[in-house]
Structure 1
Amino acid sequence: MEDRSVRRQLSLLQTSFLLIYIYRNDSCRSTQFASTEGTTSARLPPVSKFGTVKVSGNSMLPAYRDGDSLFVSWVDGASALSAVGKSIIGKAVVIEREERPGIFLVKRVKNFQDGNYWVEGDGPGSTDSRTWGWVKPDEIIGVVLFRYKKAKPLVSE
């Protein structure tokens, strides 16, 4: 019984955090929709170090599916990533290409060379650095921390 109570408290804590976080996000900026294929959305200046994106498309399969929610650490491209450099190789990032402002893409960093990043989708047929070439550090606007599931509604017993 005690174990069940602890799990319930942890669930409430997690739900409370997400509700507070989402409330703060919604009051400060619209939810970002990151696309693996290129869906537009409005981007407001980040007011928090963390945010959420919702995946649209399948170019990051099997890691991320269409509709997945991702928890992201926003970065100030060149300044934040210059200190990180190669340590983000292998991590999924949110990018906004200079040529397509307002369109956010989720890709995985594969290489770092001469201050630029090579990014690719996990799935076949992804449009990525194989099409556009190297990505500048200031085009990387976030690093994906984890995928999460929306909290289920609480049911009283």
Structure 2
Amino acid sequence: MAKHASMIIEGDSMAPTYSAGDWLMGRWAKYKLTGFNRIKVGDVIVIERDEQPGIFYVKRISETRASGGHMPTIFVLSDNEAGTDSRTWGWLPITAVRAKIQFRMKRGK
């Protein structure tokens, strides 16, 4: 079952779209590339990498890939070129997606 939760941006990897201190609302659920709970290129999502459990990143989906019989994968980028993203990590399994950002609730200072 999906739930909504707020989060606060730390760092500038998503600047200028989101800046440190911005409060975002995300919809936490299991996501797919088709049907209900769909994510697509351009969506801003929250990911948690297997290599860093408990650490969440806000990134934008740049590419998706689904090949017959294999788990779909996503390529995510920071809006700020200096941010860490799939250019360092590589393709991520769709199971790394924890939430889809719905909107900014409050702009940070």
TM (norm. structure 1) is 0.60
Q: Aligned residue for 1:34?
A: none
- Is the 1:57–1:65 Cα contact (8 Å) retained in structure 2? yes
Amino acid at match of 1:111: E
**Aligned partner of 1:81 among 32, 55, 73:** 32
Determine if contact 2:24/2:104 at 8 Å carries over to the other structure: yes
Secondary structure of the residue aligned to 1:81 is coil
Pick the structure with more helix per residue: 1
Q: Secondary structure at the match of 2:32?
A: helix
C-alpha spacing 1:86/1:113, structure 2 compared with 1 (3 Å)? farther
* Aligned mate of 1:58, from 12, 16, 22: 12
When Rg is computed on C-alpha atoms for both structures, the one with the higher figure is 1
User: For residue 93 of structure 2, what is the amino acid of its counterpart?
Assistant: K
The answer to whether structure 1 residue 109 and structure 2 residue 53 are counterparts is no
Aligned residues: 101
**5+ unaligned residues in a row in structure 1: which ranges?**
1-46, 151-157
Contact 2:32 2:39 in 1 (8 A): no
Q: For structure 2, which runs of at least 5 residues remain unmatched after alignment?
A: 67-71
- Tell me which stretches of 4 or more aligned residues in structure 1 moved more than 4 Å: 84-87
Question: Which structure has greater strand proportion?
Answer: 2
Determine the structure 2 residue equivalent to 1:96. Answer: 48
Whole-Å Cα distance in 1 between the matches of residues 39 and 26 of structure 2? 16
Partner of 1:49: 3
Equivalent position amino acid for 1:118 in 2: F
Q: Whose relative contact order is higher, 1 or 2, with alpha carbons under 8 Å and at least 6 apart?
A: 2
Contact 1:86 1:112 in 2 (8 A): no
Deviation at 1:75, TM superposition (A): 1.5
Contact 2:11 2:20 in 1 (8 A): yes
- Range moving further from structure 2, 81-90 or 56-65: 81-90
